[in-house]
């Protein structure tokens, strides 16, 4: 019988409940550090996994044409003061399949830890994948998080990834996503991160729109305060006729924090179009005043705006 007590303890810390991910009809993979705790498949969803000193290796496959009704849960974390968790994930979405994946990354306890994720994801033609990755960290600031993904979005497929790290200290975060989108495929990346004290945030996201009518959106929302730093690179390349891409970066800076944004847009086909917008600075004055006009103090208003942006 797997020991789920650390999972329940961790979820309890942020007011959550792990019951849905342990439900009998939901596929899941749970690993504490380099220890595989539980693996559960569901009709049309296969999960192969092995764990060793060098980390956890997993291969998840959703069979062609399968629409998975329940979210598939991937739960990773460390429940010791110090530790390392390296994960290599291979994911294949069969032709015409549909699924939603939730990655719960629990690092509320460690003082010093490293979590790396090296993912290779392939969406066959017409597949649809929504991937939500939510990190829960403690107050230590000693966590190093390195999520890396290479994604191939097939013809007419749709990939959507939401990354969120707004609970606790970030520590050091280095996101590196690269996505290739084939004809009529769509890729949407959204990242939301809140850095405090000396947190160091680096986000590099690239979408290459290689097929005709391919679509791409990179949306980044980052707030940094105290002495935190953030460097954001959002790159989109329009390489085919009718390709459309947009990069949208918004960063709010408080205290001595420093943020930078480098939107990189490149078009190599005359019928492709890529746009970008970036705003960095303190909170929008009009938004601030609109909330203060409802009686919120300046501090309450700023918190509400940041919370909303990162929600």
CA 134 – CA 167 distance, rounded (Å): 9
Is 277 a binding residue for other proteins by CB under 8 A? The answer is no
Question: In whole angstroms, how close is the CB of 174 to other proteins at the nearest point?
Answer: 25
**Which of 68, 147, 293, 303: binder of other proteins (CB under 8 A)?**
293
For 97-150, the three-class secondary structure string (H helix, E strand, C coil) is CEEEEEEEEEECCCCEEEEEEEEEEEECCCCEEEEEEEEEECCCCCEEEEEEEE
Question: In whole angstroms, how close is the CB of 11 to other proteins at the nearest point?
Answer: 23
**Which of 82, 256, 266, 307: binder of other proteins (CB under 8 A)?**
307
Is 310 a binding residue for other proteins by CB under 8 A? The answer is yes
**Which of 194, 291, 302, 303: binder of other proteins (CB under 8 A)?**
291
Q: What's 42's DSSP letter?
A: B
Residue 1, token pair as written in the block = 């019988």
Question: In whole angstroms, how close is the CB of 295 to other proteins at the nearest point?
Answer: 4
Q: Which of residues 17 and 297 has its CB atom nearest to other proteins in the complex?
A: 297
CA 60 – CA 62 distance, rounded (Å): 7
Is 298 a binding residue for other proteins by CB under 8 A? The answer is yes
CA 156 – CA 307 distance, rounded (Å): 34
Question: In whole angstroms, how close is the CB of 70 to other proteins at the nearest point?
Answer: 24
**Which of 124, 221, 246, 276: binder of other proteins (CB under 8 A)?**
221
Is 67 a binding residue for other proteins by CB under 8 A? The answer is no
With b for 16 or more beta-carbon neighbours within 10 A and e for fewer, the 280-309 pattern comes to: beebeeeebeebeeeebeeeebbebbbeeb
Q: Contact letters (x/-) for other proteins, 227-266, by CB under 8 A?
A: -----------------------x----------------
Applying CB under 8 A, the span of 54-62, 116-124, 258-266, 301-309 interacting with other proteins comes to: 301-309
CA 249 – CA 275 distance, rounded (Å): 12
CA 131 – CA 150 distance, rounded (Å): 13
Is 270 a binding residue for other proteins by CB under 8 A? The answer is no
Applying CB under 8 A, the span of 32-40, 228-236, 257-265, 293-301 interacting with other proteins comes to: 293-301
**Which of 194, 247, 292, 303: binder of other proteins (CB under 8 A)?**
292
Is 301 a binding residue for other proteins by CB under 8 A? The answer is yes
CA 28 – CA 71 distance, rounded (Å): 9
């Amino acid at each position: 019988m797997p020991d789920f007590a650390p999972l329940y303890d961790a979820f309890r810390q942020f007011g959550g409940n792990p019951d849905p991910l342990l439900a009998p009809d939901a596929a899941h993979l749970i690993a504490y550090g380099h220890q595989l705790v539980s693996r559960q498949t569901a009709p049309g969803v296969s999960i192969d996994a092995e764990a060793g000193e060098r980390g956890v290796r997993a291969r998840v496959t959703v069979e062609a044409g399968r629409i998975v009704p329940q979210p598939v849960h991937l739960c990773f974390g460390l429940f010791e003061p110090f530790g390392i968790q390296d994960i290599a994930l291979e994911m294949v979405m069969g032709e015409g399949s549909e699924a939603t994946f939730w990655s719960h990354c629990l690092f509320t306890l460690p003082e010093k830890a490293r979590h790396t994720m090296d993912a290779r994801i392939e969406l066959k033609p017409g597949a649809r994948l929504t991937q939500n990755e939510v990190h829960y960290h403690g107050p230590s600031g000693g966590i190093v998080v390195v999520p890396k993904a290479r994604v191939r979005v097939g013809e007419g497929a749709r990939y959507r990834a939401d990354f969120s790290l707004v609970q606790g200290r970030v520590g050091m975060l280095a996101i590196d996503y690269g996505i290739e989108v084939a004809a009529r495929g769509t890729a949407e990346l959204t990242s939301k991160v809140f850095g405090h004290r000396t947190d160091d945030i680096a986000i590099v996201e690239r979408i290459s729109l290689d097929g005709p009518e391919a679509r791409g959106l990179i949306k980044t929302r980052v707030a940094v305060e105290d002495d935190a730093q953030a460097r954001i690179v959002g790159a989109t390349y329009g390489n085919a006729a009718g390709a459309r891409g947009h990069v949208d970066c918004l960063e709010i800076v408080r205290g001595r924090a420093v943020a930078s944004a480098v939107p990189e847009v490149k078009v190599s086909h005359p019928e492709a179009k890529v746009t970008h917008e970036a705003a960095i600075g303190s909170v929008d004055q009009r938004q601030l005043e609109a909330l203060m006009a409802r009686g919120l103090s300046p501090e309450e208003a700023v918190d509400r705006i940041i919370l909303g942006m990162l929600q």
